[in-house]
Amino acid sequence: MRVVPLVERPDLAEQVSVWGFGEWGHLNPGQTLDRRRAKIQGKMNVDRVPIAFVALGDDDGIVGTASLIFDDLDGDPRNPWLASVYVPVEHRKKGIASALVRTVEDAARRIGYDRLYLFTSTAPSLYEGLGWKALEQRDYRGEIIQVMEKSL
Ligand SMILES: CC(C)(COP(=O)(O)OP(=O)(O)OC[C@H]1O[C@@H](n2cnc3c(N)ncnc32)[C@H](O)[C@@H]1OP(=O)(O)O)[C@@H](O)C(=O)NCCC(=O)NCCS
């Protein structure tokens, strides 16, 4: 398994959009699959934010995705953020998300950031295991989320 910037595999942008819309569409009022597609096109970067990454399996098929973005929580002044970490069910529990998270951390560090943020309602233990620290919990658009940070 290896992780590459999505810009190296633009053919996978459609799958990344479909996963993201299915998983987080409800958190973004007014979002459509078309808007998600357009946003992904804006993440085709290598050394500037935002960057989408994809994890590739041995057959070079997509087995996960994650992004480094500037803003994530509406109105929150902190940045940048690790976001959109997704691994399809059949590939979970093999360390793919962990590899994606480390890649995003490395990219943020390389670009010059010394701190990275994320929020999650589903996987705080995954990030704790990777050295992330829990900050506040809050209600965000009807969901209880945990905000976390990592010093890079
Ligand atoms: C959350 C999610 C990204 C995790 O992906 P994953 O690839 O299964 O994550 P990893 O394999 O790196 O780690 C998951 C767990 O498997 C364990 N694990 C890793 N490699 C393993 C292996 N070879 N054998 C058994 N377990 C393993 C890890 O210790 C970790 O345990 P934890 O949950 O207690 O921390 C995935 O379940 C997902 O996409 N969920 C839906 C979207 C979502 O919730 N995204 C997070 C939003 S912030």
pLDDT tens digit string along 29-87?
888 999 999 999 999 999 999 999 999 999 999 999 999 999 999 899 999 999 999 99
Of 21, 86, 93, 132, the residue with max ligand 1 atoms within 8 A of its CB, to mutate for a pocket test, comes to 93
Say which CATH number the domain at 73 has. Answer: 3.40.630.30
Domain membership of residue 124 (yes or no) is: no
> In the chain, how many H helices and how many E strands?
4, 7
Please list, in sequence order, all residues whose beta carbon lies within 8 angstroms of the beta carbon of residue 88, skipping any fewer than 6 positions away.
Answer: 19, 63, 64
Residues enclosing ligand 1, CB less than 6 A? 23, 85-87, 92-98, 120, 122-123, 125-126, 129
- Of 109, 62, 60, 57, residue with least CA distance to 40: 62
Of 82, 91, 92, the residue with max ligand 1 atoms within 8 A of its CB, to mutate for a pocket test, comes to 92
Residue nearest to atom 46 of ligand 1 (CA): 85
Domain membership of residue 128 (yes or no) is: no
Q: Does the pLDDT at position 95 exceed 90?
A: yes
Per-residue pLDDT at 27: 82
Domain membership of residue 151 (yes or no) is: no
Domain membership of residue 131 (yes or no) is: no
The pTM for the full model equals 0.95
